[in-house]
Amino acid sequence: MLTIGKLAAQTNTSANTLRFYERQGLVCPTSKGENGYRLYAEDAVKRVHFIRHAQQSGFTLAEIQELLTLQDSASACCSDVRKRAIDKKLMLEAKIKLLKAMSAELDALILNCAHEDHPVDQCPILDALSRAPQSELRS
């Protein structure tokens, strides 16, 4: 059995993170010792690694909970997990597309501001930001 400190050390996390995972129902201690300390089974290490890796891949904690449930479900198959990974990929790509559009908008604003010594009330960036977008004016 592992104490929370040992589990944190083996998974490169903190005890606070593990307590947070417990509150979210992701990793729960198997038992509590006589002193009230949390005790985890050895396979909790694998579970915490899974959670951290999934977080790095963009999955939310709620989605990770679903993945863990699938992992524990005898009737689930690989395509169920793949479907979730594809949906996550689509969402990330949509966000990337939006971020690229925002970056391009900033490029245009930066190009407009060629005179860095203008007073702030003549700043073309602030001026452009204060105007409603064309799409909103049309609607």
135 counts as binding other proteins under rule CB under 8 A: no
Residue 97 near other proteins by CB under 8 A = yes
> Which are the contacts of 26, defined by CB distance < 8 A and separation ≥ 6?
47, 51, 61, 64, 65, 68
Decide: is 79 part of the binding site for other proteins (CB under 8 A).
Answer: yes
Kindly state whether residue 91 participates in binding other proteins, applying the rule CB under 8 A.
Answer: yes
Question: Does 100 help bind other proteins (rule: CB under 8 A)?
Answer: no
Among 5, 37, 69, 90, binds other proteins (CB under 8 A): 90
Pick 53 or 83: Cβ nearer other proteins: 83
Which residue, 79 or 130, is less far from other proteins as judged by CB?
Answer: 79
Position 78 contacts other proteins (CB under 8 A): yes
Choosing from 32, 46, 93, 102, the residue that interacts with other proteins (CB under 8 A) is: 93
**Distance (Å, whole) CA 80 – CA 66:** 10
Collapse the DSSP code of 134 into the 3-class scheme (helix H, G, I; strand E, B; otherwise coil) and give the result: helix
Decide: 88 and 63 in contact? Cβ < 8 Å: yes
Single-letter amino acid, residue 105: E
DSSP notation for 24-50: TTSS--SEE-TTS-EEE-TTHHHHHHH
Is residue 89 at the binding interface for other proteins, with CB under 8 A as the rule?
yes
Is 126 an interacting residue with respect to other proteins (CB under 8 A)?
no
At its nearest, how many Å lie between other proteins and the CB of residue 88? 10
- Map residue 91 onto helix, strand or coil: helix
Instruction: Please tell me the distance from the alpha carbon of residue 68 to that of residue 79, in angstroms, as a whole number.
Output: 15
